[in-house]
Amino acid sequence: MLPVEEAIEIILNEVKPLGTERVECLDSVGRVLAEDIQARRSNPPWDNSAMDGYALRAADVVAASPENPVKLKVIYDLPAGTFPHAAVNEGEAVRIMTGAPVPDGADAVVMVERTEKVEASTAECSGEVLIKAAPDTGTNIRFNGEDFKIGQRVISAGTLIRPAEILMLASVGQPEVTVYKRPVVAVLSTGDELVDIETRPDKGQITNSNGYALAALAESAGCEVRFLGIARDTRESLTDKLTEAVEADAIITSGGVSVGDYDLVKDVLSELGSTMRFWKVALKPGKPLAYGVISGRPAFGLPGNPVSSMVAFEQFVRPALLKMAGRKAIFSTTLKARITEGVAIRPGRMNFLRAVLKTEGEEYSVTPLKGQSSGAITTMVNANAYIIAPPDSSGFGADETVHVQPFDSSVFMSTTTDYPSTARTDE
């Protein structure tokens, strides 16, 4: 039997990132950037105020305090969106809003809470202000380019675009970006016993549940799905459906890879140009796996058992699809958790046990679910993680530390807030 790691290595050696395309900024979330982004402007674009208050010359108010305020002449108001039209000279101040450019001459801003307005006495000035604090030079000023400077590389090619990258793209004025293409994945189920989700199964028939699960998995990996439904276990039907499937960037089939059945899927894919390989991978559940490349496109023949096909997708298909989408970090990491009860395993294959992973104080705990048969869909629904037992493991005793691969983010979500406790302050 082929070790899981070797199967992954062979697959990934033959899979390459797809081409690139230009998309609108907002459509790039979840995609991988295929170009470096250089700042077309600096941030902040000018020295600006970090507070609502008064821009002034620090030297004018060195003696200022609440008991001995210093009076300055307010020469104008500077709301956000306006630009200073005159410098601040000795004895003067400008009323400034957060984000507004600091006028020439001013070298500090005193927040409005540390000032007191004196009503206007003449028409040409906005009045006077009493300053009750002595700021250092630079206080409450955000300086031009202190975040990033014009021409600087602010995001590197290969970065996964998250909302934070969208913030950066928008702030540097980048309405379009070059990203890796999203893989188009054909999903095909095979079997004479299968019916669609809308059809009530007759005797001997079952619903094509895999097709839907694999489509959902491919979507969760950021792919566009071509849902091809069911191919019958005949040469004609398989040829018909697989001809359509090879238009996609990747092909996923399920079923028909049991030892006796496999020849048919293999023959048809060979006729379509693929050299298919069939492996018994040392993986449980999910032993049989067919893999081939058709004109540069990977084809994955996953097992028919629903749970096996989902486990095989996570280990073999997801990393390949992520690599095609330009991602660098393509493997799901594992966490270490305390197993709450013992479990026995027959050694020989890398075993993926469906389990419930929870946070437990500063650590994680994990409980293997009852009913690990590869047909048990309820356990799949109740689980949020796989406990991974290496091939030589014959099980775990309660409280041992085990490797766990979460397959959704539920362990990182909570129905209540989870902040560190904080003392209340008045500010």
CA 298/CA 249 separation, integer angstroms: 7
Please report how close the Cβ of residue 256 comes to Mg ion at its closest, in angstroms.
Answer: 5
Q: What is the C-alpha end-to-end distance of the chain, expressed in Å?
A: 65
CA 111/CA 133 separation, integer angstroms: 9
CB closer to ligand AMP, 131 vs 317: 317
Measured between alpha carbons, how far is residue 147 from residues 136, 138, 153, 162, 172 in Å? 21, 16, 12, 19, 12
335 Cβ contact partners less than 8 Å away, ≥ 6 residues apart: 357, 364, 403, 404, 405, 406
Residue 306: what are its φ and ψ, rounded to 5°? -55, -45
Of the candidates 147, 240, 261, 267, which one interacts with ligand AMP according to CB under 6 A? 261
Count of residues engaged in binding ligand AMP, rule: CB under 6 A: 19
Task: Give which of ligand AMP, Mg ion, none residue 208 binds (C-beta under 5 to 8 Å, depending on kind).
Answer: ligand AMP
Binding positions for Mg ion, 70-129, rule CB under 5 A:
none
Please report how close the Cβ of residue 334 comes to Mg ion at its closest, in angstroms.
Answer: 32
Of the candidates 17, 44, 255, 306, which one interacts with Mg ion according to CB under 5 A? 255
CB closer to Mg ion, 255 vs 319: 255
CA 185/CA 248 separation, integer angstroms: 6
356 Cβ contact partners less than 8 Å away, ≥ 6 residues apart: 366, 367, 369, 382, 383, 384, 385
Please report how close the Cβ of residue 204 comes to Mg ion at its closest, in angstroms.
Answer: 13
Binding positions for ligand AMP, 184-213, rule CB under 6 A:
189, 191, 193-194, 206, 208-211
Token duo for residue 173: 């004025």
**Where are the strands (E) in 47-165, listed by range?**
48-49, 53-56, 70-78, 92-96, 108-111, 115-118, 128-131, 141-142, 153-155
> Does 286 interact with ligand AMP (rule: CB under 6 A)?
no
Tell me if 364 sits within 8 A of 411, measured CB to CB: yes
Binding positions for ligand AMP, 287-346, rule CB under 6 A:
303-306
Binding positions for ligand AMP, 220-259, rule CB under 6 A:
254-258
Task: Give which of Mg ion, ligand AMP, none residue 303 binds (C-beta under 5 to 8 Å, depending on kind).
Answer: ligand AMP
Task: Give which of Mg ion, ligand AMP, none residue 299 binds (C-beta under 5 to 8 Å, depending on kind).
Answer: none
Helix (H, G, I), strand (E, B) or coil at 203: coil
Mask of contacts with ligand AMP, 100-119, x by CB under 6 A?
--------------------
Q: Is the peptide bond before 285 cis (omega within 30 degrees of 0)?
A: yes
Of the candidates 191, 222, 292, 368, which one interacts with Mg ion according to CB under 5 A? 191
Q: Is the peptide bond before 420 cis (omega within 30 degrees of 0)?
A: no
Task: Give which of Mg ion, ligand AMP, none residue 378 binds (C-beta under 5 to 8 Å, depending on kind).
Answer: none
Residue 233: what are its φ and ψ, rounded to 5°? -80, 50
Count of residues engaged in binding Mg ion, rule: CB under 5 A: 3
CB closer to Mg ion, 53 vs 191: 191
Task: Give which of ligand AMP, Mg ion, none residue 51 binds (C-beta under 5 to 8 Å, depending on kind).
Answer: none
The residue number whose beta carbon is nearest to ligand AMP equals 304
Residues that bind Mg ion (CB under 5 A): 191, 255-256
Residues that bind ligand AMP (CB under 6 A): 189, 191, 193-194, 206, 208-211, 254-258, 261, 303-306
